[in-house]
C-alpha cells in the first residue's frame, strides 16, 4: 500500500482527484479524507487503481478537448469489465 501511495503522490493532480473521489457522497463518512492513504483505505486499492488509470487517460488524451461522452463511456466500460468475470 505504501508503494501505491508513493506513486499516486508523485502526481498532485491525480492525488487530489483520488482524495476528492474518496470524499464523494457515495463514499463519504463523517470525517473527510485528507490523505492518499486514507483515500486508499476508504475506496480500496482496486478502485483507486482504476480511478488513477481513468484520470491518466483524461490527462493523456491528445487534443484540446475530450470528446463528449468519453468519461461516461469509460466508466461504463470499467463497470462491465468488473461484471463480466463474475458472470
pLDDT the model gives residue 82: 74
For 12-27, give one letter per residue: b (16+ CB within 10 A) or e: eebbebbbebbbeeee
| Farthest-apart Cα atoms in the chain, separation | 40
Q: Quote the Cα angle for 37-51-8, to 5°.
A: 45
pLDDT the model gives residue 64: 64
Each residue's pLDDT expressed in tens, for the chain with a length of 87 residues: 888 889 888 988 888 888 888 888 666 677 888 899 998 888 888 888 887 777 766 666 566 666 777 767 777 777 777 777 777
pTM flag (> 0.75): no
pLDDT the model gives residue 63: 64
Instruction: Return the DSSP state at 59.
Output: H
In angstroms, what is the C-alpha Rg of the chain? 14
Q: Where are the domains of the chain?
A: 2-86
Amino acid at each position: 500500500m505504501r508503494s501505491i501511495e508513493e506513486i499516486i503522490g508523485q502526481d498532485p493532480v491525480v492525488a487530489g482527484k483520488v482524495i476528492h473521489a474518496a470524499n464523494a457522497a457515495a463514499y463519504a463518512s463523517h470525517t473527510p479524507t485528507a490523505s492518499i492513504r486514507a483515500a486508499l483505505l476508504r475506496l480500496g486499492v482496486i478502485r483507486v487503481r482504476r480511478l488513477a488509470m481513468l484520470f491518466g487517460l483524461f490527462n493523456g488524451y491528445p487534443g484540446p478537448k475530450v470528446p463528449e461522452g468519453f468519461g461516461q463511456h469509460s466508466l461504463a466500460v470499467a463497470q462491465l469489465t468488473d461484471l463480466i468475470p463474475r458472470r
